[in-house]
């Protein structure tokens, strides 16, 4: 996640307040409930890349020996694997 998790609630509240002040949305649920839902959605979206990175690290563990011997470049292999998964899963980062 590129922004501190603590900021997500503040940003979510600001987004809702901004949309309401411009009369671009009409809430059909209590404001706090909408802020909570938006906060969850934003956190989920921000952690997609973190989750993907963790998965790639797990996948590359089976190549630790070759990487340690210098036969494989970990950074290059990591990026290639990550890009392949992004493409396969149609992930937007």
Residues 11-54: tens digit of each pLDDT: 999 999 999 999 999 999 999 999 999 999 999 988 999 999 99
User: What Cα–Cα distance (Å) separates residue 19 from each residue in 22, 35, 49, 62, 71?
Assistant: 5, 12, 27, 48, 54
**In 3-state terms, the chain is what percent helix, strand and coil (to 5)?**
75, 0, 25
pLDDT for the residue 1:
65
- The pTM (predicted TM-score) of the whole model is 0.69
Q: How far apart are CA 93 and CA 46, in angstroms?
A: 9
Residues 45-87: tens digit of each pLDDT: 889 999 999 999 999 998 888 888 888 889 999 999 999 999 9
């Amino acid at each position: 996640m590129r922004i501190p998790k603590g900021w997500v609630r503040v940003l979510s509240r600001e987004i809702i307040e901004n949309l309401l002040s411009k009369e671009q949305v009409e809430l059909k649920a209590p404001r706090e409930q909408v802020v909570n839902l938006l906060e969850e959605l934003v956190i989920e979206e921000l952690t997609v890349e973190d989750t993907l990175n963790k998965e790639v690290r797990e996948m590359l563990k089976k190549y630790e020996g070759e990487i340690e011997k210098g036969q494989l470049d970990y950074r290059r292999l990591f990026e290639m694997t990550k890009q392949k998964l992004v493409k396969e899963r149609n992930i937007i980062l």
